[in-house]
Amino acid sequence: MPTDQANTWASVALLSPVPDTPQQVEVDADVLAKASALDALRVVGGNALYGRVTISGAKNAALPLLCAAILTRDPVQFTNVPVGLADIKTLSALLISFGVTVGLRSDGVAILRADNIKSTSASYDLVRKMRASILTLGPILAREGHAEVSLPGGCAIGTRPVDIHLGGFEKMGAKISIENGYIKASAPNGLHGAKVELPFPSVGATENIMMAATLAKGKTTIQNAAREPEIVALANCLNSMGAAISGQGTDTISIQGVEQLHGASFEVIPDRIEAGTFMLAVAMTGGKIILEKADIEPLESLVTLLQEAGVSVEEENGFVVVSRDPAKPLKGTDIMTAPFPEFPTDLQAQYMAMLALCEGAGMVTETVFENRFMHVPELNRMGANIRIQGNSAIVRGVEKLSGANVMATDLRASVALVLAGLVADGETTVNRIYHLDRGYENLVDKFRNLGAEVERVKGQ
Ligand code: UD1
């Protein structure tokens, strides 16, 4: 290895054993998507869950963190990365297309080095697979002075525009145009600090603007910023790379721009949505599970509801122990999704699956996305009694669900159907599970280890 390269690598506190140079990953998201597009999960209901499950690093934290590596020429190392997820591979492919060297190791270590950005354009082909690709726009624009990212377009859970991201960049001096389906952003003399007030505390817009502002001239203030733990993690990582960010976790974030960022080593926080999903699973099936590497603090909104429903959630010796006596009825409560710290939209479908089996009736109101009830007709096919009224769903508890052939069109809806299958009478086939591969690492093995009867089969 040439000495200068060796020195660059030495500037990062690398864990051992790590390869001398990052290995370029072989990523073909298309192959991955095709392989799993027709896969299904066969679930046989009725088993209570018992045992231990290790919670993976958070997908929604890892994606922006990998994008942050664009902001420095130095290598950046992440640990606890959910490297098995399709979304991580898709983003890696996009970063590689910019010229970033990406090494993903099976033990969750990712090493990225953006010493030579060769392209500033994110193609439709890669962006359409994953909306989070838009998070490359801020870092590329800040570093190179221009960027071109395909518009992500709509998705199953709503139109999901990116106007809040673009409004922030414009405030920071970028010229933005939309041409042939691409967002073209330029700031030839660099971005400057600005006061940016978000019309809605968008998670992605907060992250994108915060990353871009680290290299802007002067101070940026983001008002009505999102407060999700993934934003705090991103800000902490950027600070360890030399950024000057304060106020993360509150609704006002200040970023004092710096000349350049440097390499760092950072651990991805645990996936609170995966942890919440397992908590809801055991609430539904009964049993007792121990969550390892989980953090319940950011799940307070769910934990309170689970305890009210009759589920025990305790922290013991650094683990989270969740149990429910299957003989006792569950009592459901109304929920309304909203930005953190309120109830997360990413747990709404799973909570509704639990509510379907609770005593009495409950109402689920979705305020974050306008079309996030695709799981309702599928749950009803399994015997649930749910009626949609505007952005609310009224759930009348039933005694039993019954196995059926079902299909979901997004990640969290898919896992909600798996949870329903775990308690339904007979066999449930959840079709087109590539959504699950986007966001849940080793889901089948994790459930099987807890005693569930789940297997991957060829679907329709
Ligand atoms: C992130 C999460 C996603 C989660 C969501 C809300 C990642 C990779 N994904 O998505 O799992 O469900 O937060 O907690 O972290 N909006 C606009 N204009 C914009 C941006 C957003 O109108 O420019 C709207 C969206 O259409 C949506 C709402 O704001 O209705 C919330 O979106 P946002 O918080 O930006 O979610 P994402 O960052 O896309």
**Is 94 in the same domain as 139?**
yes
Could you report the per-residue pLDDT of 11-33, keeping only the tens digit for each?
333 333 334 444 444 444 444 44
Is there a domain that residue 368 lies in? yes
Q: What is the pLDDT of residue 131?
A: 86
Residue with the nearest Cα to atom 25 of ligand 1?
Answer: 160
Residue with the nearest Cα to atom 38 of ligand 1?
Answer: 204
Ligand 1 atom with least separation from CA of 204: 38
**Is 49 in the same domain as 96?**
no
Is there a domain that residue 20 lies in? no
**Is 287 in the same domain as 233?**
no
- Contact between residue 215 and residue 255 where contact means Cβ atoms under 8 Å apart: no
Task: Give the residue from 221, 243, 267 where a domain finishes.
Answer: 267
Crossing angle of helices 163-171 and 137-144, in 10° steps, is 20
Task: Give the residue from 251, 267, 283 where a domain finishes.
Answer: 267
Is there a domain that residue 17 lies in? no
Between CA 284 and CA 286 the distance in angstroms is 6
Ligand 1 atom with least separation from CA of 60: 15
- Contact between residue 21 and residue 41 where contact means Cβ atoms under 8 Å apart: no
Q: What is the pLDDT of residue 361?
A: 93
Q: Residues lining ligand 1, judged by CB closer than 6 Å?
A: 60, 63, 131-132, 158, 160-165, 200, 202-205, 230, 345-346, 368-369
Q: What is the pLDDT of residue 8?
A: 35
**Is 98 in the same domain as 42?**
no
Q: What is the pLDDT of residue 9?
A: 35
Q: What is the pLDDT of residue 34?
A: 47
**Is 124 in the same domain as 152?**
yes
**Is 286 in the same domain as 302?**
yes
- What CATH number is associated with residue 364? 3.65.10.10
Is there a domain that residue 8 lies in? no
Helix, strand, or coil (residue 204): helix
**Is 216 in the same domain as 355?**
no
Ligand 1 atom with least separation from CA of 158: 26
**Is 181 in the same domain as 261?**
yes
What is the distance in A from the centroid of ligand 1 to the CA of 202? 5
Identify the DSSP state of 359. B
What is the distance in A from the centroid of ligand 1 to the CA of 201? 9
Residue with the nearest Cα to atom 26 of ligand 1?
Answer: 160
What is the distance in A from the centroid of ligand 1 to the CA of 419? 24
Residue with the nearest Cα to atom 20 of ligand 1?
Answer: 162
Residue with the nearest Cα to atom 11 of ligand 1?
Answer: 346
In which element (H, E) is residue 68 found? helix 59-68
**Is 238 in the same domain as 290?**
no
Q: Which residues of the chain have pLDDT under 50?
A: 1-34
Identify the DSSP state of 98. H
Radius of gyration of the chain (CA): 22
Is there a domain that residue 195 lies in? yes
**Is 101 in the same domain as 146?**
yes
Q: Find the angle CA(44)-CA(47)-CA(51) to the nearest 5 degrees.
A: 125
**Is 167 in the same domain as 302?**
no
What is the distance in A from the centroid of ligand 1 to the CA of 5? 38
What is the distance in A from the centroid of ligand 1 to the CA of 361? 29
Helices (H), ranges, 332-424: 348-355, 375-381, 411-423
Residue with the nearest Cα to atom 39 of ligand 1?
Answer: 204
- Count of domains observed in the chain: 2
Is there a domain that residue 10 lies in? no
Task: Give the residue from 226, 244, 267 where a domain finishes.
Answer: 267
Ligand 1 atom with least separation from CA of 166: 23
Ligand 1 atom with least separation from CA of 59: 8
Q: What is the pLDDT of residue 5?
A: 39
What is the distance in A from the centroid of ligand 1 to the CA of 2? 43
Is 237 noted as a catalytic residue in this protein?
A: no
Crossing angle of helices 411-423 and 272-285, in 10° steps, is 20
The domain in which residue 247 lies consists of: 59-267
Q: Report the DSSP pairing between strands 427-431 and 39-44.
A: antiparallel
Is there a domain that residue 222 lies in? yes
Is there a domain that residue 220 lies in? yes
**Is 259 in the same domain as 339?**
no
What is the distance in A from the centroid of ligand 1 to the CA of 203? 6
Q: Out of 67, 155, 237, 358, which one is annotated catalytic? A: 155
Instruction: Among 202, 336, 438, say which to mutate for ligand 1: greatest number of ligand atoms within 8 Å of CB.
Output: 202
Pull the structure tokens for residue 249.
């976790």
Q: DSSP labels for 128-189?
A: TT-GGGGGGHHHHHHHHSEEEEE----BTTB----HHHHHHHHHTT-EEEEETTEEEEE-TT
